[in-house]
Structure 1
Amino acid sequence: MDDEIKKCRVLAVQRFKAGESPEAICASLGKSKFWLYKWVKRHSEGDPLWFQDRSRKPLSTPHRTPVEIEEIVKLVRLNLYNQDLFCGAQAILWELEDLGISPLPSLRTINRVLKRNDLTQRRTGKYEPKGTPYPKLPSLLPNQTHQMDMVGPCYLSGPIRFYGLNVIDTATARCGLHSSLSKSGQDVLGGTLAIWSRLGIPDNLQVDNALSFLGSPRYPRALSQFVRLCLQNDVEPWFVPMAEPWRNGNIEQFNDHYQQKFLSKVIMTSTDELAAGTMAFEQRHNSSYRYSKLGGKTPIKALSATKTVLRFPNPDDTPLQRLEKPETGRYHLVRLIRSDLNLNILGELFPVPPELKLEYVVATIDVKEQKLKLYLGKTQVEEFDYKIR
């Protein structure tokens, strides 16, 4: 502290104690009465360092996160990180809920704690697309594109074995879940209709090449029951390349979340508990899980913001044991053309031009025209007769 300021304060108090009038003291020093009485009061408190400046920091910060809550957030985040699990603010909030922590911090509070403690770095750097261009499906509006996958077998206490049919809407991140005791074609059809009754019917549905979806190589030109259901509802199925599950990235990431926050957390001992737990998890995710790609909105809020009118199946429709072959519609298979220059569709080989070597192409099967059309990007490069049995 400046010596002149110290001397001024000491002198002013001495003069006041000697009986000099406050007006005279303040006029001679160019100070206010408020200033004078402040230092007189400090002197009367008996503090030997009364003339020094004091910190203006408030004695309490009622809006600051309690230390114990901040430590719990840090410990939970560290525990999730060490287990190679999701460890963002939303995952931490769900973990705190499951642990019964009270009072429960808000998502914004958890984000502030992570930022304050430099715990916001990602496990890996941002993904940079590399190599051959890959066709992308639209995902700007709800139900433009769904991704679907079959998870399992999974096991309940007992043990009871079951399979989970999981769907994610790539635009709003809404999920649809259905659990069944088998992955038979009939269970897949029933599960798909049940999910569509809640999420709505998509324009495009992206899946892998499982027998339940694409059908058997023994009957390469026979439409699977799953494809028939899609085409009858004006849905275009898209099958990702063989052995490339990461092309279904949204649903694969959701499956990790499903494993961590549902299968490994919720204790279920019967099929009734499984059905109830599955529906509860779906509703919890869609109504409370917030995504940065949605601007912090939940999937339900993201859907509401678009004001999109969704299509739903007829509530009276039930999946028949054997669906009729549709007369119109298209389905697509994305394939990487290798050095042998052959397009492989369920074991059938179709020769392709040399310029397609090491390119991803879209093989579109038009049911009405009975044609297999080959596209590179948006350009049709080849066409084959393809009589569907």
Structure 2
Amino acid sequence: MKDEIKQRIQAVLRFLSGEKPESICASMGRSRSWLYKWISRYDEKNSSWCENRPTVLSHATNRTPLEIEEITKMIRLNLYNQDLFCGAQAILWELEDLGIKPLPSLRTINRILSRNELTHRRTGKYEPKGTPYPKLPAFLPNQTHQMDMVGPCYLTGPIRFYGLNTIDAATARCGLHSSPSKSGEDILDGTWAIWTRLGIPDNLQVDNALSFFGSPKYPRATSQFIRLCLHHGVELWFVPMSEPWRNGLIEQFNDHYQQKFLNKVIMTTAEELRVGTLAFEQRHNSKYRYSKLGGKTPLKALAATQAQLRFPNHEEVPRQRLEKPEVGRYHLVRLIRSDLKLNIFGEQFSVPPELKLEYVVATIDVKEQRLKLFLDKTQVDEFAYRMR
């Protein structure tokens, strides 16, 4: 028993000195629930805090056990101090991973946070600067998806991989795919696999990574990714360069993906990665609750809309090389700076002075072979754009 007490004291002191809970538990062979239990009991004014307490039956059968409440508080503080998601949903996932029983509801966790004044939100949220920005509609399922490539990431081994992550802006459903590279073929395979589960979107928003648009050496040569979208009636939107927050939903989800999946699930093989990725996708879509969805999970939000989704034909799995499309259009949102230049994947076009410091939409019309420039849905200029 003395060794047990010494271990409790040592664990708490290491935590108070700033050591991460994961490191403490790994070195001592203990669970995080054990660590949080003794952290919650620590009292510098009472030397008996580390000793066992007699079991006392509670008369309030509907009250959350004190120990679970203390663990909830410590988890919230630990997540907040690491600059991670620290809301009720994130805490519930932590409690679930720790094997805490009975597991409190989201409402109970919110009550615990509220009565302990642990509802403070971080500052620093992006505030618009006043220049109007063209936003895509996100009222119906698959009206707009946001996609991003994460990586390179590494498994224990090590095995290097890239994560292609997608989120539906209306329902917050996610689609994930892990691949060994970010080549054009892997992008096609990943996008196709995600569409078979989420459905095909009307609009797909991405950043300006080479994996998506191709090569700056040949800006008018449509990449295989652009061709895939055009062949399936998807309008592709490239956000302004150096403005990742314009793809804010998927950027925020990537943090969640890193925190709740890559940092917590031990995987050593490509097959474990594949299975784990699909399991995390299903867990998120079926269990994660969003306040913007009225407390519904993404799948519940989808069911409530009764929307009819469009899925790809399994007989049309894309193979390199896709034919050059004859119709369709894709868009680039760009901020026109003081040099009055429009940058289309490295190619420069001069624009009128009245567009200075305005966000414009440059639409490439494949059928007409024209580049059309729009400001607030009004066409303000047009260029010949012969595609390769």
Q: TM-score, with normalisation over the residues of structure 2?
A: 0.84
Instruction: Look up the SS of the partner of 2:187 in the other structure.
Output: helix
Deviation at 1:205, TM superposition (A): 0.2
Aligned to 2:294: 295
In 2, Cα distance between equivalents of 1:301 and 1:363? 36
Q: Which is higher, the Rg of structure 1 or of structure 2? A: 1
Aligned to 1:129: 128
1:113 maps to amino acid: I
Deviation at 1:102, TM superposition (A): 1.2
Instruction: Look up the SS of the partner of 2:237 in the other structure.
Output: strand
Give a deviation string over 1:85-128, Cα, whole Å, max 9, x none: 00000000001111111111111111111111111121126654
In 2, Cα distance between equivalents of 1:165 and 1:127? 25
Deviating beyond 4 angstroms after TM superposition, the runs of 4 or more aligned structure 1 residues are none
Give a deviation string over 1:22-56, Cα, whole Å, max 9, x none: xxxxxxxxxxxxxxxxxxxxxxxxxxxxxxxxxxx
Aligned to 1:108: 107
Instruction: Look up the SS of the partner of 2:362 in the other structure.
Output: strand
Aligned to 1:28: none
Instruction: Look up the SS of the partner of 1:90 in the other structure.
Output: helix
In 1, Cα distance between equivalents of 2:199 and 2:346? 34
Deviation at 1:60, TM superposition (A): 2.9
Instruction: Look up the SS of the partner of 1:316 in the other structure.
Output: helix
Give a deviation string over 1:214-271, Cα, whole Å, max 9, x none: 1111111111100000000000000011111111000000000000000000000000
Are 1:367 and 2:366 an aligned pair?
A: yes
1:380 maps to amino acid: Q
Instruction: Look up the SS of the partner of 2:381 in the other structure.
Output: strand
Give a deviation string over 1:249-297, Cα, whole Å, max 9, x none: 0000000000000000000000000000000000000000000000000
Aligned to 1:335: 334
Give a deviation string over 1:133-157, Cα, whole Å, max 9, x none: 1110000000000000000000001
Pick closer, same or farther for the CA change 1:126–1:179 going to 2, 3 Å. closer
In 2, Cα distance between equivalents of 1:91 and 1:279? 19
In 2, Cα distance between equivalents of 1:202 and 1:214? 18
In 2, Cα distance between equivalents of 1:82 and 1:125? 16
Instruction: Look up the SS of the partner of 1:150 in the other structure.
Output: strand
In 2, Cα distance between equivalents of 1:77 and 1:374? 48
Are 1:344 and 2:343 an aligned pair?
A: yes
1:214 maps to amino acid: F
1:256 maps to amino acid: D
Aligned to 2:192: 193
Deviation at 1:131, TM superposition (A): 2.7
Are 1:259 and 2:255 an aligned pair?
A: no
In 2, Cα distance between equivalents of 1:163 and 1:214? 17
The gaps in structure 1 that reach 5 residues or longer are 1-58
1:190 maps to amino acid: D
In 2, Cα distance between equivalents of 1:202 and 1:172? 12
Deviation at 1:162, TM superposition (A): 0.3
In 1, Cα distance between equivalents of 2:222 and 2:216? 11
In 2, Cα distance between equivalents of 1:102 and 1:181? 39
2:147 maps to amino acid: M
Give a deviation string over 1:338-375, Cα, whole Å, max 9, x none: 11111111221111110000111000000001110000
Are 1:82 and 2:96 an aligned pair?
A: no
In 2, Cα distance between equivalents of 1:279 and 1:216? 31
Instruction: Look up the SS of the partner of 2:61 in the other structure.
Output: coil
1:117 maps to amino acid: N
Deviation at 1:61, TM superposition (A): 2.2
1:284 maps to amino acid: R
Instruction: Look up the SS of the partner of 1:193 in the other structure.
Output: helix
Instruction: Look up the SS of the partner of 1:310 in the other structure.
Output: coil
Aligned to 1:312: 311
Q: How does 1:66-215 map to 2 (within 5 A)?
A: 66-124=65-123, 127-215=126-214
Q: TM-score, with normalisation over the residues of structure 1?
A: 0.84
In 2, Cα distance between equivalents of 1:128 and 1:155? 34
In 1, Cα distance between equivalents of 2:315 and 2:114? 51
Instruction: Look up the SS of the partner of 1:364 in the other structure.
Output: strand
Are 1:63 and 2:62 an aligned pair?
A: yes
Aligned to 1:376: 375
Q: How does 1:243-254 map to 2 (within 5 A)?
A: 243-254=242-253
In 1, Cα distance between equivalents of 2:250 and 2:123? 20
Deviation at 1:212, TM superposition (A): 1.0
In 2, Cα distance between equivalents of 1:278 and 1:316? 25
In 2, Cα distance between equivalents of 1:322 and 1:82? 49
In 2, Cα distance between equivalents of 1:342 and 1:124? 35
In 2, Cα distance between equivalents of 1:171 and 1:244? 22
In 1, Cα distance between equivalents of 2:96 and 2:376? 46
Aligned to 1:52: none
Aligned to 1:354: 353
Aligned to 1:236: 235
Aligned to 2:39: none
